[in-house]
Copies of this chain bind each other. A is one copy, B any other.
Amino acid sequence: MHALEQKILSEGIVLSDQVLKVDSFLNHQIDPVMMQQIGQEFARLFKDAGITKIITIEASGIAPAVMAGLELGVPVIFARKYQSLTLKDDLYRSKVFSFTKQIESTIAISKKHITATDKVLVIDDFLANGQAALGLADLIHQADASVVGIGIVIEKSFQPGRDLLLEKGYRVESLARVQSLANGTVEFVRD
């Protein structure tokens, strides 16, 4: 997605060979117009997939997921990373290990919002090791629903997440694929 790549080049900050910071438009400050374009692109890619629901994870996945949901005309669920007082129903739970934070957290969604007939699109802001996407897919499988695809805003293609998801048979659509962050420079994957 050209506009997203341009945004990454102009505003992304390469913190290390592994870490790309995009907190001016995606992870902390959000550019709503960019999010709308991202939502439109996800909708274009998955428009014929019969999607009935989008699932993402708090917090940075919410903006792109809601814009995609608006375009596709489907509800969005954001998995929570902890259990709050008003989320007491029966929950599907999964464990997710964050390599960035070096912690394991439990993610959960309410059972009542997903059924076996749902065809679900998973959306997340980043794909690195694939653990968050696998955790979200696990929640969907627990409901006997189908994962029709995984939509990623920024993929770090030099990390193992994409291959892991492809090996499991998931369709992965990443709007920007970062080949390398070496020498403080963002290089994208070119076909």
Contacts and interface: CB of A to CB of B under 8 A. Distances in A.
Contact of A86 (B27, B35, B62, B110): B27
A28 interface: yes
Contacts of A87: 23, 27-28
A32 B84 contact: no
Copies in the complex: 2
A165 interface: no
Contact of A59 (B25, B35, B78): B78
A100 to B, nearest CB: 5
Interface residues of A, number: 39
A106 B29 CA distance: 18
22 contacts: A15-B86, A19-B86, A27-B87, A28-B77, A28-B80, A28-B87, A30-B69, A30-B75, A32-B66, A32-B67, A32-B69, A32-B70, A32-B74, A32-B76, A36-B70, A58-B59, A59-B59, A62-B63, A62-B66, A63-B63, A66-B67, A85-B100
Interface of A: 15, 19, 21, 23-25, 27-33, 35-36, 58-59, 62-63, 66-67, 69-70, 73-78, 80, 84-87, 100-101, 109-110, 113
